Structure formats: C-alpha cells, structure tokens
Amino acid sequence: MDVEKSLLRIVTTGSVDDGKSTLMGRLLFETKSIFEDQFEAIRKTSAKRGQQDVDLSLLLDGLAAEREQAITIDVAYRYFETPTRKFIIADCPGHEQYTRNMVTGASTADCAIVLIDARNGVLTQSRRHGFILSLLQVPHVLVVVNKMDQAGFDPAVYQGIVKAYEAYARRLELRDLAFMPVCALQGDNVAARSARMPWYEGPTLLQYLETLHVNPEQNLIDFRFPVQGVIRPGQDFRGFSGRIASGAIRPGEEVVVLPSGRRSTIKAIETFDGDLPEAFAPQSVVLTLADEIDVSRGCMLARPHNLPLVGNHLDAVLCWMDDAPLDPGTQYLLKHTTQTVKALVSKLVYRFDVNTLHRESAARLELNDLARVELQTTLPLFFDPYKFNRATGSFILIDPVSNRTVAAGMIRGQSSPPPGAKEAPPVQAHSPNTFARQPNLPREAREARNGHGAAVLWFTGLSGAGKTTLGRALEQALHHRGCQTTLLDGDSLRQGLCRDLGFSREDRAENIRRVGEVARLFFEAGHIVLCTFISPIAKDRDQVRGLIPAGRFFEIHVDCPIGVCIGRDPNGLYGRALKGSILDFTGVSSEYEPPAAPEAVVRTDQESPERIVAALLLKLEQAGTIPKGD
C-alpha cells in the first residue's frame, strides 16, 4: 500500500508574517509527522519567548536568522504522509529579495498555497506570487485566507478577499484556482472543520490536499528520453541509461534518435529488478535498441511522429539568480536535460515588473529580476514549450568561470532570427537601359493550342516533406493527359542558375526571386509550371504570387511533421544540421513560415502520393486549368 501512494509536491508562499510556516507546522502536527524531540525543542523555544502556545512555525524555519527575525529566508523542505498520500512541502520566502528562492521551490510543485492575511487583504506581494506561479505553470493554486480569528471569522472579509484576488487572477494563466479560510494557529479548517466558520462549506486543507487529482498533470503522451549515459559492461550488451522526462514507452515501439534522426525499436526496458513491460515518467531505466546506432550522452529518444522542437534560437522567460548582473552578449553554459552547450542572451526583450505586471525595457538584469529574453546556443536543443512539458521546457544558465548557477529559464518556443539579420535587398522594378516587350505570341493563343490553361503550382514545405516526389508524380500524370509542363526543382536550379547563392536569408530571397521570374516566363509560354522549393519565408512566396494572374497561382503546402522529415532525410542533411555542421537549415536552425491561406494542404505522412496527385488533378479540373479526365 505504501508503494502505491501518490506523491503531491506543495509549495507555500505569501507575504511576510502571513503565517506560512505556522500553517505548515500545524499540518505536520495534525498528521502526527513530528518527532517527540522536535516538538520538545520548539516547545522550549516558545516558552523562552513567553508564548503561551507552541510556535509550530519553528518546525520549518530552520536557519538561525529565520528564528531570530521570525521570517522565512531559505526554502525549507518537509516530508510527511497520510494513509492516502505522500507529501513534500517547500516553504518559500515571501519577500521580493528572495524571488529566486521562490522560483526554485515552485519549479517542481503540483500545487501552490498562497497565504493571505485576513487583516491585510490582497497585497502587492500576494499578486507577485500569483504572477510567478502563473509563469511557472503550477497546475493547482489554493489561496488560503489565514488569521480569520483576528478578523472575527467574518464571512464578508473572506468574500472580499476572494473577489479581489479573482479579479486579479483573470490577467494570469492559472488553470485551477481555489479559496479557503483558516486559522493556522488554532487549527481551524486545517485538519478538522471549524465550528467557528459554519458558513464555509468547502473541504479542510488536509482534505483538499489528499483528494487533489494530479495525475492528469503528468505528461504521459510526449515520450522524451534524454540519454544520460551509455551502459557497456561487455561486448554483448549496450544500453542507454536515463530518466524518462515525459511520456511512456514499451518494448517493440519505434523511436527516433536525435540529433542523428536514425530510427530503431525498443528491444527491452531494463532495471536492477528486471525487465519492464512498460516504463513512464519519471522512471529511471536502461533502454536497449534493436539496431546498433550511435547514441551518447545528450542525445534524446522520441517517437517518430511526436518529436520535440529542434533549434538553437530560444524564446524564454529568465529568472536571474546571481549577484553579478546579466550583461547580454556574455557567453554562459546552458544545461538542458542531459545536454550542456554554450549559449548567450542575444536579446533582452523586456523585464517584468512583478508587482504591477508591466513590461519594462532594460539593458541588463539584476538579482531576482524576471525577464523575457532570446537566447542563441552553439548546438541545437531538443525541447518543448514549458507550458506543455516542464522537463524539456526548462533550463539553467551556468557561469563557465565560477560554475555558479546564474539563472533559471522557462522556454516559450523558438525565437525569430537573431538581431542584425539583414533584410532582403529591394527588388528593382527593371534593369536599367532595357525596355519591356510584349510576348511574341499571346499566352491565350498558346493555351488554345495546348488545350489547357497555364498555371503555376508552388509546392512549399520542409526538406524531406515530399515536395519533389509530388511534383514529379504530378508532372507525369499531366504529361499523360497531353499537358505542356515544366518542373523547376530547388536542387536542379542551384546546380546552375542559382549556383552562386548560399542559404542566408538574403540569398534565399534572391533564389526564390529568380525562380519566380523563370516560372513567369514558362507560364506566359502556356505551360503548367511545377515549382518544388522549401521557400521558408512567406514574403518571398507572396512576391512570386504577385507575378502570376489571380486564379492561376496555386500554393500547395506539403505539411509534414519534422519528425517524419528527419526520419526520411534522403540526403543526410538533417543529421548534419542537427550536429551543427550545416548552418541556417530550415526546421532546425532556421525558421519556416507556413502559408496562411494556401490553395491546398497535403499531408504526405497520412496519404499516399497517388491519392494526393489525384486530389490535385481534381483541383486543377475544378479551376478550369485542365479538362476533366475520362
């Protein structure tokens, strides 16, 4: 029965002297989680102070400075259990100067208890704590209105605080918010219902904590296994050890190894006590694969059709924890799961005023500051947004000289290209000293002879999505119908017309500009032009659209998950890009802007090329570009 008990991690916070430590001490006392010598020690200390009641807050205020000042400075952890559940309490300081301590304590919490003094109501610090809990995405927040005895157990006082905090919480991302009135000093509504507050009909604090459902908060869908080490006791065994960050896995399931993109299946899940039929977060296990694949510390295993984001430009919220301020541009070490890479804060977007929720411009960060930043790493990371996956959405920054942890971060997603990236040069209206001429034969005449209309079909999507495969198959189908076609492929044009261009943002724009002009020439010649290009920037694609008459340009988004693209990787480009040997690779270290309103969206991971080609032919028929087939 003890093994089957669930674990609830609790963080408590509140303003100075709201009674956090007293409440937690009362909870420990009521659940008989205090040893006799502990109780005797705090009884003597209380007597020396002349207190009539035993000061249960001394159970959590462990530092001498805390007992002297009667405040909480450091994060105090206490463990207790009831017949139904195990608990870990992190008692966090409430003062603004200890924000970093609160972030540390709340980072792994399932539930947060925010104490508010009934005499003082909702203070600035109370709002600040709610904001930090919102940033940290703590799943459940319980606002406990303490010291109701000093407010005469007046329900109007309690309801006023509830309304005030609810109004503030609407500006935050708090998923589950509850309220409760208590008197921690005398135990009202802590473990037993208070006879002095009959107007409160909700559960006691202990009932709330024992019945709080936390399992759905565990991410058991997105399988993420950061490899911590390679187990090689002999030549006949090779396993990969680590802790499952999220999700679950079974033997026989297919996985992808990042960054190589190689696929294999799980051969066995091994532990000291024997093999497991299934493993899930947060278990620590050794996984063996059916194939011999290069895997080392820092790699990650995931499912082929459910991969994390991959990139080295991060959009994140940072809590600065060092006495020395952050100076953007300084290089740090970024530790994310089992991977440690060099990183720098490329941009300080804004700093939060945690008291007012206002955003402030700042040139640097001081101790306890919270800010939104953009980071750039030397190697790609495999991550998820923090709001969906805490384990793969969090990181720390380390000073490479002192080895101190200087900041903790929560990833929001991928950031935009780094500052300083040059915009594509403006396109000239025409080359000087030249004159526009009308086509020798009008396009309409060519279309009449061909028996079909001219059009440009622009296939866009990630590398490996299947653009060229679809373009070639569609061209063959059109050729069999007697259509005049031209296929413009990215690799082919970069071997000749565009061989002088690289893959910077400027060169990509020029590449698409040239392709668009060539496509326009073939279009005016009455051809159906099939263009298969990654073309990651929407602005570049829109420029080509502007060259073709309305209704004749078909943008086709070949929408394929990056995990599938990495698994295909026909030319090994993803593998090289994930190792950092190819820079500015779309989907890895360079962004892709999907079409906002394409003429067609096709999924090559769900449908066969034959079915997609048939659907595209039907679309061309409906548009009147080609005659209907037999």
| Catalytic residue annotation | 535
Q: Which of 596, 588, 479 is nearest to 530 (CA)?
A: 479
Distances (CA, A) of 34 to 42, 190, 325: 11, 16, 42
Could you give the CA distance from residue 151 to residue 357 in angstroms, rounded to a whole number? 30
Beta carbons within 10 angstroms of residue 437's beta carbon: 6
Q: Which residues contact 575 (CB under 8 A, 6 or more apart)?
A: 259, 260, 261, 262, 569
The token pair at 107 is 């980072």
The token pair at 385 is 């947004």
Q: Which residues contact 165 (CB under 8 A, 6 or more apart)?
A: 116, 122, 126, 130, 143, 179
Q: Which residues pair with 256 in a beta bridge?
A: 263, 302
* Positive/negative CA dihedral, 366, 367, 373, 377: positive
The token pair at 216 is 């759905």
The residue ranges of DSSP E strands in 354-502, in sequence order, are 358-360, 370-383, 394-398, 405-414, 455-460, 485-489
- Confirm if 77 and 42 have CB atoms less than 8 A apart: no
Q: Which of 119, 160, 138, 186 is nearest to 11 (CA)?
A: 138
- Confirm if 386 and 411 have CB atoms less than 8 A apart: yes
DSSP string over 600-612: EEE-TTTS-HHHH
- Confirm if 563 and 304 have CB atoms less than 8 A apart: yes
DSSP string over 158-209: HHHHHHHHHHHHTTS--SEEEEEE-BTTTTBTTTB--TT-TT--S--HHHHH
> At 365, which helix (H) or strand (E)?
none
